[in-house]
Structure 1
Amino acid sequence: MTVVTDTSTDGHRVPPEPDLTEQEIVARAARIAATLVDRQQETEQRGYYGLDTHKELLAGGFYRILVPRRYGGYEFGIDTHMRVVSALARGCPSTAWMYTFGASHAHLAASLFGEKAQNELFAAGDFICPGVIAPAGLAEQAEGGWLVDGVFRYSSGSPYATHFIGQTFLAGAEGEPPTQMMFVVPRDQWRRLDDWGAQLGLKGSGSHSIKIEKAYIPDHYALVGTHMGLTSVTNGTPGLALHGNRLYGGSVLAVLNFQVGALAVGMATGALDAYSELMRERMTTYPPIVARAENPDYQLYYGEADGRIAAARAAMSDVLRQWGETAENGSITRDVELRMSLISREVVRLCWSAVSDILFPTAGSSAVRAGERLERIWRDMSTLHTHAGVSIYLSTVATRELANLLFDVHADPGAVD
């Protein structure tokens, strides 16, 4: 990948399209999404989106949305990234999943790592970095850094990645439990395993495992005691000091969780698109035989589903507004981070109920055969619920922590009733 060298008058690198707007990149995502609908089968069979799609995303600036401007990125807002994710998911959930969990960690890296690391990580401008929350392996201390071994599963975005962000364990003192360390490693120090595609859904999301063997991680690429999924930024961030933009001083935790809400909105909207076609093209089964669009029952089904998806979209839009406001005024606190994250969980629930309770069961058996658009979306949304962030963290850990904070209860966060 070519390193960005063009600079502006302030010494910072210039992105490929200096005048690109947030509105235009969202519109580009919608145009790309329209071409992905008919390619979902091949994406599933391959296990990840095609090289031509990758090149289109690359040329369109999508991997630079959250990269700081000083490195040739666009430094667009979190809301813009999430709108792009929803637009892509409307056309192909697998593509959107693979894209966001590769591109979004530019925000995490630009927020949490220091200047020396960022100068190196963002040297090429484009940044594609899958990340996993579950720790693996045990790091060994080495001169000026660490040696890391491990297999890291569900590394969504790995096929075209430039880096990887992971979690590993550090041995504790005698009698003490191990601590965790977050680290980043360049692409040439790990390999992708051929172990993705047998899942129920999201078969084309590029969520392969990656294997790291004795990779050397310099100290400035490692954050001891940091957990990606639980990290709070209430005391400030290196990225805010470096870039002077509150984008890199807002909640990292909430942004990680916003992705599942943005994906769900896009998937459910795609399901509604498919159902709309059935409304126009299919007739009712029982008399009076009319087009479904003319039948009061199908009108009710459609309207109810549309309303739930619209409510989810509105909630997603508002929580992104909340994130922007708290980042801008520096009012982020742990309870605010958690509550915003839980709104994303409710977005997922609304979208899932629209698809699983209304659209899928009333579409008709021929519309949910293997390979049909609605069938694929149902599988993809079912698989979304197996993500640990959705099924475990947001459903249990985050909700309890929020209550503990509000009631000043110092309970063991790992306790289960």
Structure 2
Amino acid sequence: MIAVPEPGLTERELIDRAVALRPALLERQAETEQLTRCPQATHDDFVRAGFYRTLQPRRYGGYEFGLPTFFRVVTEIARGCPSTGWALSLSAAHVLQFAAQFGERAQDEVFGTDGEFRAASTVAPVGVARPDGDGHVLLDGTWPYSSGAPYSTHYLGQTLRAPEEPGGPPGPTVLFVAPRSAWTVLDDGHGALGLRGSGSNSIRMDRARIPRYLTREVSLLDLPVEGGTPGSKLHGNALYAGRAPSVYHGELAAVMTGIAYAAADEYARILVDRPLTLEPDRTRAELHDYQRHLGEALGVIHTAQAAVQRTAEDYMEACRRNVSGDAPFTVADDNRLAIVFLNAGRTAWDVTQNVLFRTAGSRHARDGERMQRYFRDAAAYWTHIGASMAEPLARRVGCDRLGLPSHDIPLIP
């Protein structure tokens, strides 16, 4: 057992710490974009606060809090700095899949003696895993858009099993976890439209050699979870018996909700600070139209957040029922949860661009303005592979309702 840094820490206290960091994160936004990752000071703040350990098993120095708490933390961090919230979400959440799918030997090695675990990941498989004949596999390839990579201690990636014979087709998808010593972060995180500080660099492996027990022939898009997993049995917690795609969409939706709240915060500041052109002793805050714009936006954002939180609770219940034997956690369940998360993210994007950015005024669309940054960050989500799953996911949900097969509808083009 690895000691938990703060045994008495509560979920409420963790969320309050995220809220308390908002002023510092606001001040560091420009620096974060310039660095293409959050500053060391922010990373240190996260380590002290315990954010990276939110979902981590207590056996290995984590707090083992639920998904609703994690998403609240992510939303609050993204409200202070969207790029930082994105990096936190996409590096601290992958402990769920690792702790669920890998056995005790692998977890003992990976969590080590200090429990430090932050894992960037990408959903698409890259390269092939070649056995070296000595109980290890060799990995080669470049995994792009690995958000959170600069501060990650591990990489949770996917590749393909090498062909059985030269020239033959590759084998099934292989999920692997590789320590930081096995890969290099490439300096290619510049030039993005938005989320410029999310540390979404590529990582490179050149004949990286890892033990075979740190690999599994499973896909993140279709993890075997029915009746429980190696991790749910090891940790005695149904949290580690859930599917991955819905969590993935929840991670993004939690960030998007935070971005929308950030835009609403900035909008309220603009209304109070901006005098009217013809009546300089009054501000936009006194005009009914702008009051209505802000109230409409907040109502929609509150709704998106409620959807994220309630769906996270539904995910936890699906995990519990899966382990108890009441009902398996099916692909149809995953589709249903995922599309609600995705719709919450889309709702946050719509209100950010259609109400807040549109009516804030063109002066706030200039470089260096926070409203411009929030628009860019939200737009980056809307072009992300997660948002591009909307159409196939909707088709899946429709087929599930009609009793037609949906499992083979690919989520990734």
Tell me if 1:342 matches 2:339.
Answer: yes
Deviation at 1:385, TM superposition (A): 1.5
Structure 2 partner of 1:46? 35
Structure 2 partner of 1:372? 369
Deviates more, 1:167-176 or 1:30-39: 167-176
TM-score, reference length from structure 2: 0.93
Instruction: Return the letter of the residue paired with 1:170.
Output: R
Looking at structure 1, the residues matched to 271 and 93 of structure 2 have their Cα atoms a distance apart, in angstroms, of 36
CA contact (8 A) 1:231 1:253 kept: no
TM-score, reference length from structure 1: 0.92
Does the residue aligned with 1:154 lie in a helix, a strand or coil?
strand
- Candidates 305, 308, 332, aligned match of 1:316: 308
- Candidates 370, 373, 391, aligned match of 1:396: 391
Looking at structure 2, the residues matched to 194 and 108 of structure 1 have their Cα atoms a distance apart, in angstroms, of 27
Instruction: Return the letter of the residue paired with 2:161.
Output: L
CA contact (8 A) 1:47 1:204 kept: yes
Structure 2 partner of 1:195? 188
CA contact (8 A) 1:49 1:95 kept: yes
Does the residue aligned with 2:190 lie in a helix, a strand or coil?
coil
Deviation at 1:335, TM superposition (A): 1.0
Tell me if 1:205 matches 2:198.
Answer: yes
Looking at structure 1, the residues matched to 289 and 236 of structure 2 have their Cα atoms a distance apart, in angstroms, of 55
Counterparts of 1:242-391 in structure 2, within 5 Å, are 242-285=234-277, 290-330=282-322, 331=327, 332-391=329-388
Deviation at 1:284, TM superposition (A): 3.8
Instruction: Return the letter of the residue paired with 2:87.
Output: M
CA contact (8 A) 1:284 1:295 kept: no
Does the residue aligned with 2:197 lie in a helix, a strand or coil?
coil
State the identity as a percent. Answer: 40
1:404–1:172 distance in 2 versus 1, CA, 3 Å? farther
Looking at structure 1, the residues matched to 316 and 227 of structure 2 have their Cα atoms a distance apart, in angstroms, of 17
- Candidates 11, 16, 29, aligned match of 1:22: 11
Deviation at 1:408, TM superposition (A): 3.2
- Candidates 382, 406, 412, aligned match of 2:401: 406
Consecutive unaligned residues in structure 1, runs of 5 or more: 1-11
Output one character per residue of 1:332-369: Cα deviation in whole Å (capped at 9) or x when no partner.
22211111111111111111111100111110111221
Tell me if 1:150 matches 2:147.
Answer: no
- Candidates 123, 135, 145, aligned match of 2:125: 135
CA contact (8 A) 2:161 2:170 kept: no
1:100–1:414 distance in 2 versus 1, CA, 3 Å? closer
1:278–1:215 distance in 2 versus 1, CA, 3 Å? same
Instruction: Return the letter of the residue paired with 1:358.
Output: V
Instruction: Return the letter of the residue paired with 2:367.
Output: A
Deviation at 1:286, TM superposition (A): 6.4
Does the residue aligned with 2:121 lie in a helix, a strand or coil?
coil
Instruction: Return the letter of the residue paired with 1:130.
Output: A
CA contact (8 A) 2:228 2:238 kept: no
Looking at structure 2, the residues matched to 356 and 258 of structure 1 have their Cα atoms a distance apart, in angstroms, of 21
Looking at structure 2, the residues matched to 52 and 264 of structure 1 have their Cα atoms a distance apart, in angstroms, of 24
Looking at structure 2, the residues matched to 415 and 44 of structure 1 have their Cα atoms a distance apart, in angstroms, of 30
Looking at structure 1, the residues matched to 70 and 118 of structure 2 have their Cα atoms a distance apart, in angstroms, of 14
Structure 2 partner of 1:68? 57
Looking at structure 2, the residues matched to 403 and 138 of structure 1 have their Cα atoms a distance apart, in angstroms, of 35
1:415–1:237 distance in 2 versus 1, CA, 3 Å? closer
Looking at structure 2, the residues matched to 361 and 228 of structure 1 have their Cα atoms a distance apart, in angstroms, of 38
Report how many residues are paired.
403
Instruction: Return the letter of the residue paired with 2:208.
Output: A
Consecutive unaligned residues in structure 2, runs of 5 or more: none
CA contact (8 A) 1:110 1:239 kept: yes
